[in-house]
Structure 1
Amino acid sequence: MKRVHVAVGVIVNEQGQVLLTRRHNDAHQGGLWEFPGGKVEAGESVVDALARELAEELGISVLASRPLIEVSHDYGDKHVLLDVYLIEKFGGSPAGMEGQPMVWAPVTDLDGYEFPAANVPIVDSVVSTLA
């Protein structure tokens, strides 16, 4: 079975909203909302992978972050390990650099978004930490 290690960022703005991006329809779990991030490359630390992915996907730099939760999930066709960090401070203004839709969502509204199954524990953690 394919195993994928992913660095994930829960990005919080000054209004206490979190940034969500929507997966491209042709991607695994396409069309669902997620917290941005991407694959950790061989030999790369999670923190370095997260900084690289958020720069590539959103055009921002991570200035302050801390670990939030680690999630292991089996989709049947692939197993994902999500290393999730709370991004408390960032530089730049996030934009969908890869054409992906994005939205700043109030923490209290997260239950109104459709997430991949592996993201459910992240949503619960975000709500308990930030709400």
Structure 2
Amino acid sequence: MKKLVKVVAAIIENKHQEILCALRSPRMSLPNMWEFPGGKVEANEDIFSALKREIDEELSCKIETFKEIFNENTHEYETFIINLISIKCRVVEGTPTPSEHSKLIWLKRENLDSLKWAPADIPAVKQLIKEK
């Protein structure tokens, strides 16, 4: 049976209504695909705390999360199943700086579909584009 991994992703929007997109590095699984930054939820951790911790670790900045889930979907990859929970948030301290990712860019919603997204992130991307 494939392992189910619970992952939280941050949809970080800046004051120009741009969304932060992160490029997975060649060392990561799904290399060179774009995603919303985030990571695995640890045992006994709530999704909002997990997201704040992951963004602090991955992007060296502090975020504030909105209290509801923006998008949730389950995607089956070859070796595991991911339950991806996307949550909107904003940066409250520091500037997002990539440590694990190759690159970070800010994009307007209408340009999000110009990137090659990791499959599990696509439902949230589509929902963001529709929001306008």
Q: TM-score, normalized by length of structure 1?
A: 0.92
Aligned CA RMSD, in angstroms, stands at 1.4
State the secondary structure of the residue aligned to 1:121.
Answer: helix
4+ residue segments displaced more than 6 Å: none
State the secondary structure of the residue aligned to 2:102.
Answer: coil
Does the CA-based 8 Å contact 1:65-1:89 persist in structure 2? no
**Alignment match, 1:41:** 42
Mapped partners of 2:8, 2:47: distance in 1:
6
Q: How many residues align structurally?
A: 130
Does the CA-based 8 Å contact 1:64-1:90 persist in structure 2? no
Mapped partners of 2:33, 2:101: distance in 1:
15
**Residue 98 of structure 1 is aligned with which of 57, 75, 100?**
100
The aligned amino acid for 2:70 is: L
Give the C-alpha shift of residue 89 in structure 1. 5.0
Unaligned runs of 5+ residues in structure 2 are none
Deviating more after overlay: 120-129 vs 95-104: 95-104
Identity %: 29
Alpha carbons of 1:16 and 1:71: their partners in 2 closer, same or farther (altered >3 Å)? same
Give the C-alpha shift of residue 90 in structure 1. 2.9
Q: TM-score, normalized by length of structure 2?
A: 0.91
Deviating more after overlay: 14-23 vs 92-101: 92-101
Unaligned runs of 5+ residues in structure 1 are none
